Each structure stands twice: as structure tokens, then as C-alpha cells.
Amino acid sequence: MKRLKRWLALILIGAVAHLLVPWPVSAQPPGEEQKAEDVQKQAEEAQKALEIFLREQRVLFKRGELALELGLFYSLDTKETFLRSDTNTVFAKITKRIVLPSLTIRYGLVNDLEFDLLLPFYGYAEQEIDVGLVRPLMSDDGLGDIAGLVRYQVWHERGSSPDVIVDVGFKSRTAGNSLLGTGNWNIGGGITLVKTLDPVVFFSRVGYTYTVGHAGLNRGNQIAFLGGTGFSLNDRVSLSMQVNGIFETENTKLNGRRISGSSQESVSLQLGVTTQLTKYVFVEPLVSFGLTDDAPDVVLGFNVIGIKLPF
């Protein structure tokens, strides 16, 4: 009897202890944690692939991630104007053509902070002035203007609030006063808003650019705006459309004197299709149409984008 009581007491104590002490959490089977991380990584990669068309608006690349973008662009622009000389004034049609390949490097410095660098390759430009019986033609070849940009995402989309991205950038005068460049350094910045209403994404940007005068020439500061939308047709193809505008705030100055009628308003409509060829390679044909006289009549472009995960 005493032995039975002792066993009952031990069973009772064990039951009480079992109720009072929390149950240990069973360890995940080997490989389950790694599998969950792989699934999350694949989801992030798939999301990045869908958003490649937003690479100039959002900060897509995290710390150590790299994207290389090869582009080839052809621009055609025609203008009709009056040309003045010392003796008379003639009506002229000016046609300008530019072919320019480029390489854009995008690199994630830290999460939410990205650096972009545009390196134009060796390009060709020509300009023909038609004044009736005379059609002088001038041409240039060489490097275009190098440009760089730092983009920082200060706020992530949450509820009704959009992504907020600020940027600071520059443009050099590596092309000099040739037909491939502007002849001035530029420094500027802007703010971009991106809002998702699945499956459509809306984006807009407002920026200001300061022009640094060189050799007595200053083309004037600029106010830029951008507005557009894009959406994915499926998990490999996305369409985008955007309106780009640049307004010069004042006329061009030459040796401190304003050149009357030299201010410009350039507005264009750009359409693009971004297609994923492989896991890390995308192609993007695009076309842009000028909506004002100061914008190029048409720009044809083709980009090949390759992304590389952290290395």
C-alpha cells in the first residue's frame, strides 16, 4: 500500500509540473528554416523582376546588388526657324540626328540608397540646315555627357501613403559644345512619389536643375516634371507610359547678355515594354514622341538590363 501511495504521489507531482512548466517548442526539421529563407528570397526576386520598369523611380537594389544596363538610342529632331546674319534674315529648317549607345550602372550602397552612373559610349550626331538652295551639314562624334545620381527612399508605401524617394544628381560637359552635349555642368535634385493600386503603379517626379555657366555661356536653369503609369501583363512582361517635361526658367545667356527667345519647353510622351528573358536579363524597347516644338520629334531606344544579386 505504501508503495502504491508513493507511485501515485510521483504521478501527481509529475502532472502538476507538466501543467506549470511551458512545453518546449519542437525544433524545426533540418532544412525547413533554410527552405523558408529560399522561398522569401525567390518572392523578393520575382517582385523585383515585376518592378524593373520602375528602376528610374524606385530604389530597387539593396546593399551590394548591381544592375548593368546597355542602351542604344536614335533621336530625330526638326525645327523651323529664322536665322539672322549681318546682311539678312532667312527661313531655315534644321534637322538634327543623334545615335548614342550608353552604359548605366546601378548599385545598392545600402538598403534604400542607390547610386546610378550613366556612361555614354562613342556616339555620332549630325545637323543639316536647309535654307533652300544651300544645305550645309555639320557632324560630331565622340563621348556624350556623363551623368550620376544618388537616390534615397525616405518612406515606403503604407496604406494610402506612397513611396517617397529623393535624389541628387549631376551632369558633366564631357561632350563639350559638340552636337552630343550641352556644354555646361548641371547639378540638381528632385522628389518622386510612387503609388501602387494593384496591378497598376502610378509615379510622378518634380525636380530642379542648376546650370553652371562655362566660357561665358549659360543655358539657364531648368524645372523638370514627370508623370506616368505602368502595369504587368503577366509575370514576364510590363508596359509603361510616362510624360516628361523640361522648362527652362530663363533665356540662355552669352557673356552675361540674355539671348531673346532662347528659352525652351520640352514635353514628350514615352512608351516602353519591359520583358524578362531569363532570371536576371531583361530587354526593353521604347519610343518617345515630342509633344512640343522644343522636344525631339522621335526617340527610339533599346535597353538590355542585367541584374546581379549580392556578391
Say what percent of the chain tops pLDDT 90.
Answer: 60
Low-confidence ranges of the chain (pLDDT < 70): 1-34, 36-45, 85-87, 251, 260-262, 309-311
Residue 5's pLDDT is what? Answer: 44
Q: Is the pTM of this model over 0.85?
A: no
Q: Which of 167, 210, 205, 211 has the alpha carbon at shortest distance from 189?
A: 167
Give the pLDDT of residue 255: 74
**33-308 fold:** Porin (2.40.160)
Say if residue 104 is exposed, middle or buried (CB neighbours under 10 Å; 0-12, 13-18, 19+): buried
Please answer whether residues 103 and 303 qualify as being in contact, where contact means their C-beta atoms are separated by less than 8 angstroms. Answer: no
Q: How far is CA 218 from the centre of its chain?
A: 27
Q: Which of 228, 193, 239, 204 is nearest to 50 (CA)?
A: 239
Burial 248-258, CB ≥16 within 10 A → b, else e: beebbbeeeee
Q: Is 219 exposed, middle or buried (0-12, 13-18, 19+ CB in 10 A)?
A: buried
Give residue 142's pLDDT. 93
User: In the chain, where does DSSP find H-type helix?
Assistant: 2-20, 32-50
User: Omega into 29 within 30° of 0, i.e. cis?
Assistant: no
Q: Which of 145, 165, 185, 168 is nearest to 55 (CA)?
A: 165
Nearest alpha carbon to residue 56 among 146, 165, 157, 162: 165
Give the pLDDT of residue 152. Answer: 98
Given a contact cutoff of 8 angstroms between Cβ atoms, the answer to whether 200 and 229 are in contact is yes
Q: What one-letter code names the amino acid at 148? A: G
Cis peptide upstream of residue 199 (ω within 30 degrees of 0): yes
Q: How far apart are CA 236 and CA 48, in angstroms?
A: 11
Residue 218: predicted pLDDT:
78
Give, rounded to a whole angstrom, the gap between the first and last alpha carbons of the chain: 73
Residue 33's pLDDT is what?
A: 66
Residue-wise pLDDT tens digits, 188-234? 999 999 999 988 999 999 999 999 987 777 788 899 999 999 999 99
Question: Which pLDDT score is estimated for 15?
Answer: 40
With 0-12 CB in 10 A as exposed, 13-18 as middle and 19+ as buried, what is 105? middle
pLDDT at 86: 63
Cα angle: 302, vertex 308, 311; to 5 degrees:
155
- Give the per-residue pLDDT at 8: 42
